[in-house]
């Protein structure tokens, strides 16, 4: 796209923690489509492993995965300090809850905080208390909050967010969704557009996922739900389904999950996002939701384009107008009507009612 500097959308993400903490495993699960049981074959990171991840098209994450062996840590804080800690947008520090050297881990964390605090850098700090699956379920909340309190007390006043994580459940997606949420520059505009889509569909909830990672980018809830981890659970489930389809040389296009109480439809929204629309049953027909998603697609494309060109405020203003489609009429400009009709063909089973989950796949 002309008129924008690619560097403006590049964000440096520093991934640190002691050797064996699980840094490379979680990065590989989120960004390289590895499944949890395959991470045991990963070798220890030596020095710094660099990777570039394009997120939602125009946001580029430069991830510096820093090996945690003592010899490398000393080099980071001394000889390589200027290059390692310069221009950091996000510091992710991974604490291994199984570590027997707790104080040494905190000393290294404090050195990281001191390094990124210099020169007034405006870095965000995320601490992941990892491998929480080894803690008995009834103890996890107490153990995590104790660790969180200690972390915050050693963070020199920096805005620090802590999350319990494990590669074996949805907590990993919760933490990394929060991290990328802090990096996406146009979440306000995306949220307004999601509100419009939710209103048009009379949806309980609408959730926007990044297509490659299935991390939650933004969401709007119109009716409360007791399960606060439902989005991350869906990320985990659909990511596993996507990987299973890849293993059978199939491509996952869309999913519908329904029972007597609700319907959840997941369909591509833009080239880099997938939307989940959750409606009550009885409620709006699946076709109406698909039609509204098709109508909304150009608006979301415009928001992402505005963001890439530094026009987030303008995008937020334009997103305030909701999409409009109803049972009685097609969209005024006809945008996406044929696409919605094609998508509706994937959901003909809906008329039968009952509990079902229908993935639409192509080869």
Long-range contacts of 331-339 (CB under 8 A, 24+ apart): 331/291, 331/294, 331/295, 335/294, 335/295, 335/297, 335/298, 336/291, 336/293, 336/294, 336/295, 336/297, 336/298, 337/291, 337/294, 339/294, 339/297
Q: Among 63, 62, 67, 64, which residue's Cα sits nearest to residue 43?
A: 67
Backbone phi and psi for residue 205, each to the nearest 5 degrees, phi listed first:
-150, 150
Q: Among 53, 43, 246, 39, which residue's Cα sits nearest to residue 131?
A: 39
Structure tokens belonging to residue 96:
């291994």
Res 277: pLDDT: 95
pLDDT in tens, 157-195: 889 999 999 999 889 999 999 998 898 878 889 999 999
Cα–Cα distance, 353 to 296 (Å, whole number): 27
Q: Is the peptide bond before 36 cis (omega within 30 degrees of 0)?
A: no
Res 33: pLDDT: 78
CB 278 within 8 A of CB 291: no
| pTM, to two decimals | 0.79
User: How many Cβ atoms sit within 10 Å of the Cβ of residue 161?
Assistant: 16
Res 310: pLDDT: 54
Res 318: pLDDT: 46
Res 32: pLDDT: 83
Q: Which CATH number does the domain 6-183 belong to among 3.40.50.300, 3.30.830.10, 3.40.50.970, 2.40.128.30?
A: 3.40.50.300
Res 235: pLDDT: 80
Res 82: pLDDT: 83
Measured CA angle at 221 (ends 220, 224), to 5 deg: 165
| Cα 345 versus chain centre, distance | 29
Q: Among 24, 70, 17, 73, which residue's Cα sits nearest to residue 44?
A: 24
Backbone dihedral region for residue 27 (phi beyond 0: left; psi -120 to 50: alpha; all else: beta): alpha
CATH classification code of 187-362: 3.30.450.190
Cα–Cα distance, 171 to 26 (Å, whole number): 11
Sequence spans of domains, the chain: 6-183, 187-362
CB 191 within 8 A of CB 218: yes
pLDDT in tens, 195-241: 999 999 999 999 999 988 889 999 999 887 777 777 778 787 777 77
Backbone dihedral region for residue 181 (phi beyond 0: left; psi -120 to 50: alpha; all else: beta): alpha
Backbone phi and psi for residue 339, each to the nearest 5 degrees, phi listed first:
-65, -40
E strands in the chain: 10-16, 48-55, 59-66, 90-96, 124-130, 160-164, 205-210, 216-221, 251-258, 262-270, 273-280, 356-362
Please tell me what DSSP assigns to residue 134. G
Res 293: pLDDT: 94
pLDDT tens for the chain, 363 residues long, are 444 444 448 899 999 998 888 898 999 889 887 888 877 777 677 778 898 988 876 788 999 998 877 777 777 877 787 888 889 999 999 999 999 899 999 999 999 999 888 866 788 999 999 999 999 999 999 999 999 999 999 998 889 999 999 999 889 999 999 998 898 878 889 999 999 999 999 999 999 999 888 899 999 998 877 777 777 787 877 777 777 776 666 666 788 888 888 899 999 999 999 999 999 988 888 888 999 999 999 999 998 876 655 554 444 444 444 444 444 344 434 444 454 454 445 444 444 445 555 555 454
């Amino acid at each position: 796209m002309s008129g924008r500097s690619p560097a403006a959308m590049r964000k440096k993400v520093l991934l640190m923690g002691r050797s064996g903490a699980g840094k490379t495993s979680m990065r590989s699960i989120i960004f390289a489509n590895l499944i949890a049981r395959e991470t045991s074959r990963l070798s220890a990171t030596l020095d710094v492993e660099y990777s570039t991840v394009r997120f939602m098209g125009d946001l580029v994450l430069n991830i510096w995965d820093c090996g945690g062996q003592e010899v490398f840590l000393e080099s980071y804080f001394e000889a390589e300090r200027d290059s390692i800690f310069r221009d950091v947008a996000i510091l992710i520090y991974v604490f291994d809850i199984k570590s027997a050297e707790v104080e040494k881990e905190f000393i290294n964390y404090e050195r990281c905080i001191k390094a990124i605090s210099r020169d007034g850098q405006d870095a965000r700090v995320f601490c992941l208390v990892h491998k929480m699956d080894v803690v008995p379920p009834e103890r996890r909340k107490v153990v995590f909050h104790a660790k969180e309190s200690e972390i915050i007390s050693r963070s020199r006043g920096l805005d620090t967010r802590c999350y319990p994580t494990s590669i074996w459940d949805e907590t990993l997606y919760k933490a990394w969704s929060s991290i990328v949420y802090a990096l996406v520059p146009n979440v306000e505009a995306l949220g307004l557009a999601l509100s419009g889509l939710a209103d048009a569909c009379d949806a309980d909830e609408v959730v926007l996922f990044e297509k490659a990672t299935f991390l939650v980018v933004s969401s709007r809830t119109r009716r409360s739900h007791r399960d606060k981890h439902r989005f991350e659970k869906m990320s985990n489930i659909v990511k596993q389904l996507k990987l299973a389809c890849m293993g059978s040389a199939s491509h996952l296009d869309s999913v519908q999950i329904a029972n007597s109480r609700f319907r959840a439809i997941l369909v591509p929204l833009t080239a880099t996002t997938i939307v989940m629309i959750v409606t009550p049953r009885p409620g709006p027909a699946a076709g109406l939701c698909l039609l509204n998603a098709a109508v909304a697609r150009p608006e979301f494309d415009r928001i992402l384009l505005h963001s890439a060109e530094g026009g987030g405020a303008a995008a937020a203003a334009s997103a305030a107008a909701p999409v409009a489609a109803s049972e009685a009429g097609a969209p005024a400009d006809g945008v996406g009507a044929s696409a919605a009709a094609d998508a509706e063909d994937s959901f003909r089973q809906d008329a039968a009612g009952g509990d079902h989950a229908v993935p639409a796949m192509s080869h």
